[in-house]
Structure 1
Amino acid sequence: MTVFDEFNEIKRKGLPQILVIFGESRELVGELKNQLLTEVNFEPTDLSQAYYDLTPSNSDLALEDLESLPFFSDSRLVILENLVNLTTAKKSVLDEKQLKRFENFLDDPPETTQLVLILYGKLDSRLKVVKKLKAKAALLEAQELKSQELIQYFSRISPLPKAVLSLIAAKSNDNFSVMKQNIDLVQTYALGREVTLDDVEKVVPKSLQDNIFALTDLIFKGKIDEARDLVHDLTLQGEDLIKILAILTNSYRLYLQVKLFQAKGWQENQQVAFLKMHPYPVKLANQLVRKLNVKSLKNGLSDLIKLDFDIKTSAADKSYLFDITLIRLTLKKN
C-alpha cells in the first residue's frame, strides 16, 4: 500500500483531529499537500481555515490560531507547514516557549480544532514532543514509490495505457515529479488523441540510462568517434564521469546476465522476475546482446571494473583513463 492509498483511506473515514504528512521526498509531500488542500476546499478567505508556512515572524500568530476557539463556525482547521523543530533537521522555527505551547496543545487539543502538519524530512523520534505527537496523530510518511507503484498510481489519475506509463516511468528513472512532468508533456504533444509508445520515444527527454544504452550500442558496433562524442556531450551537460562509469558498469553486468539467460532459453518476463527490475532496460539489453558472446561481455565488464579501480588509485586524469578504456572496449576484437 502506497502513501496515496493510505491517504485515500483517511479521506474515506474523514480527516482525523491531528494529521502529520512528512517524508524526505519533497515531491511526494508536496503532492499530498495539494491533495489535502483540494480535499478540504481550502480558501485563504475562509475564517474557519488557517494556513501557515512557519517562520519566526509568524509563529506566534500561528500558535494563537491553534489555541483559539472558532468564532464563525463550529470547527477550525489549522495547517502548519515546515515546523522543522519536529524533524531531524538541525533547525528551529519555534523557540522553547513556543514549542512548549505547541506541546500543551497536544496534551489537550480542543475538540473544535483540527491540525495538519506538513513536514519535509524525518520526524525526530527522540524528542518528547514528537513522541506525544505520534501518540495523538495519524501519520502519513511519503516514501519514494517503486516503479510498479508509480505506474499503478498514475493509471488511476491518467487515461494513458499502462504500457505507455511503464515506458514513461523507465525514462523518468522512476522519479515521481519527473514522471508527472513527462506525462503532461506527452499528453500536450498528442493533442487529445491516444498517446502511443512512439510519442513517448519522440517527446520524453533521454535519461542518462537511455544515453548509456546508446553508448553501449555504439561500443558494440565499433563506432569509436560517435561513442567518444556522446561521452563528451554528456560531460558538457554536467554528468560526472564517475557516475557515467557506474551506470556503464551496471549495464555491462546486466548485459552479461541477460546473455546467460538467453543461453538458458529464458523469456524476458522470466528475466524481469528474477532480476526484480523494470522490464524496459531488460528489453533493451536483450536487443543489444543478441549477437554478442559471453566472453566479450565478461572482458568488457572486467575492463570497466579495472577502470574504476584505476580512477580511484591513479594520479592520472580520469578523463584520459576513461577515454583509453572506451577506445579499448570499442576497438577490441573478441
Structure 2
Amino acid sequence: MKVGTIMDRALLKKWKNKEFHACYLLYGKEQFLLQESLRFLQKCMDLEDSDWGFASFDLEETPIEKVIEEAETAPFLSAQRLIVATNAWFLTGSKKNNHVHHHTDQLLQYLEHPVSTSVLVLVVPSDQLDRRKKLVKQLQKQAEVCEFNSLSGAGLKKWVMKQCKQYQVSITDEACQQLIDLVGNDLFSLHQECVKCATYVGAGETIEREQVQKLVPRSLEQNVFQLVGQLVERRLDNVLKIWYDLLAQKEEPIRIMALILRQIRLLLHVKLLLEQGKSEREIAKQLQSHPYPVKLAAQQGKKYAEQTLRKLMLEALTADQQMKTRSCDRQIVMERLFFSWRTPNHN
C-alpha cells in the first residue's frame, strides 16, 4: 500500500471520511507527530472516550499473538475496534528488549485475512525498518505504511506557527525563530512553550520576540551550544555566566562536559564534511543526526579554524578524563579548562 507521512493530506482526508485500512505501520523518530496521528485516528473512529472499542499493547511486554487475538475479537458497543501495538522492534534490526518471544507468523496470517471490524496499528519508534524481513515486506504490500520524519527548517517553523494558531494567537517570524533557537527541535518541548506563550499574551494577540525571550528558558543543549561558541572565541565572562546559570539549575558538571565534547565533535565533523563538498542533508544522514543541529554547527563552525577546534577537543578530553578517574572537584576541573582558553595562545 501507499507509503506516506502524517503530513499526507490524502491519508488525513481518508480518515476524516471514515475510510480506514485494516492495518497501519507507523514508524519514525518523531514521536510527537506519531502520537498526534494516533489521537486523530481515534477521534475519526469516534473512539476518543470509548473503553470498549480501543485497546493498546506494549510489545516489549506482550507477545504479538495476544494482539492478534484482540484484533480478531468482535466489537462491543462500537462499530469498529482500534488496536494499537507499540514498540514493534521485531520489525527492525534492533535486539532491544527481545525477552518477549513473538510468533510473527500469526501476524503474517492475520495480514492475509484481517478482520473487517478491526483497525490494527503497529508502532515502531525508529526510522530504520529491516526491509529484508519477510514480515516487513508483507506489511509494505498489505498495510498503510507511514513514516514520521523529524521537522527542520521551514517545516519546523510552519509547525510552530500552526501550534500557536490552535491557541488563537499568532507569532512573528522573528519570535518563531527565537523560540526554535532556544528550545531546539523537540516538538514536545516546543508545544509546551507555545502553550505558555499563548496563555501569556492571550487570545487574539501576537507573540513577539521579547515575550519569547522573557518566558522561554534555554534548553541544556542550547546552553552548551552557546557555551562552546563563547569558549572558542575566548569570551570568558560569557562562558562563566552560562556555566554558573547551569550550576544554579543543578546540572551536573560531568553531564555538561559530555555535551561539550559532543558539540565540539559535531562542529569538527560538520566543518570537515562541508569542506569535502557535502551538503548539510548528506552530513546529517552520514552522522545520523537531526538536520537542525547540523545546520547550527555549519553556521557556527565557519567562524572557527579546524586547528582551534582540535586543540579544544584535546584539552576537553583531558579534563573529562580527570573528572572520571581522579578524586577531584569537577567544578574546579571545568573552570580550569575555561580559564585556560582566555589566553591568546589558543588560536
TM normalised by structure 2 equals: 0.67
Residue number in structure 2 paired with 1:181: 192
Distance in 2 of aligned mates of 1:182 and 1:132: 41
Report the 3-state secondary structure (helix = DSSP H, G, I; strand = E; otherwise coil) of the residue aligned with 1:4. coil
User: Contact conserved, 1:54 with 1:82, CA < 8 A, in 2?
Assistant: yes
Report the 3-state secondary structure (helix = DSSP H, G, I; strand = E; otherwise coil) of the residue aligned with 2:20. coil
Report the 3-state secondary structure (helix = DSSP H, G, I; strand = E; otherwise coil) of the residue aligned with 2:341. helix
Report the 3-state secondary structure (helix = DSSP H, G, I; strand = E; otherwise coil) of the residue aligned with 2:342. helix
TM superposition shift of 1:205: 0.7
Distance in 2 of aligned mates of 1:76 and 1:229: 58
Is 1:202 aligned to residue 214 of structure 2?
A: yes
Q: Which amino acid aligns with 2:218?
A: K
Q: Root-mean-square deviation (CA), in Å?
A: 4.3
Cα offsets for 1:26-65 (capped at 9, x unmatched) = 3332232222223323245375x33222466797764344
User: Contact conserved, 1:24 with 1:120, CA < 8 A, in 2?
Assistant: yes
Is 1:36 aligned to residue 48 of structure 2?
A: no
Report the 3-state secondary structure (helix = DSSP H, G, I; strand = E; otherwise coil) of the residue aligned with 2:154. helix
Residue identity (%)? 16
Residue number in structure 2 paired with 1:22: 27
Comparing 101-110 with 124-133, greater Cα deviation is found at 124-133
Q: How does 1:37-76 map to 2 (within 5 A)?
A: 37-45=42-50, 49-54=53-58, 62-69=67-74, 76=80
TM superposition shift of 1:303: 3.9
The correspondence for 1:91, drawn from 95, 98, 103, is 98
Comparing 237-246 with 172-181, greater Cα deviation is found at 237-246
Distance in 1 of aligned mates of 2:4 and 2:215: 29
Residue number in structure 2 paired with 1:170: 181
The correspondence for 1:151, drawn from 152, 157, 165, is 157
Report the 3-state secondary structure (helix = DSSP H, G, I; strand = E; otherwise coil) of the residue aligned with 1:277. helix
TM superposition shift of 1:203: 0.9
User: Contact conserved, 2:131 with 2:137, CA < 8 A, in 1?
Assistant: yes
User: Contact conserved, 2:163 with 2:191, CA < 8 A, in 1?
Assistant: no
Q: Quickly say closer, same or farther: Cα 1:233–1:107, change in 2 above 3 A.
A: same
User: Contact conserved, 2:62 with 2:100, CA < 8 A, in 1?
Assistant: no
Cα offsets for 1:96-140 (capped at 9, x unmatched) = 3xx443322111224444332333335443443333222101111
The correspondence for 1:5, drawn from 4, 7, 23, is 7
TM superposition shift of 1:310: 4.2
TM superposition shift of 1:308: 4.2
TM superposition shift of 1:320: 6.2
TM superposition shift of 1:3: 2.8
Distance in 2 of aligned mates of 1:166 and 1:10: 30
Distance in 2 of aligned mates of 1:111 and 1:69: 10
Distance in 1 of aligned mates of 2:245 and 2:85: 41
User: Contact conserved, 2:26 with 2:124, CA < 8 A, in 1?
Assistant: yes
Report the 3-state secondary structure (helix = DSSP H, G, I; strand = E; otherwise coil) of the residue aligned with 2:81. strand
Distance in 1 of aligned mates of 2:294 and 2:265: 18
Structure 2: gaps (5+ residues) = 166-170, 272-292
TM normalised by structure 1 equals: 0.69
Q: Which amino acid aligns with 1:209?
A: Q
Residue number in structure 2 paired with 1:237: 251
Distance in 2 of aligned mates of 1:95 and 1:254: 41
Is 1:131 aligned to residue 147 of structure 2?
A: no
Distance in 2 of aligned mates of 1:54 and 1:305: 42
Tell me which protein shows more helix as a share of its residues: 1
Q: Which amino acid aligns with 1:237?
A: E
Q: Which has the larger radius of gyration?
A: 1
Distance in 2 of aligned mates of 1:302 and 1:59: 49
TM superposition shift of 1:250: 6.4
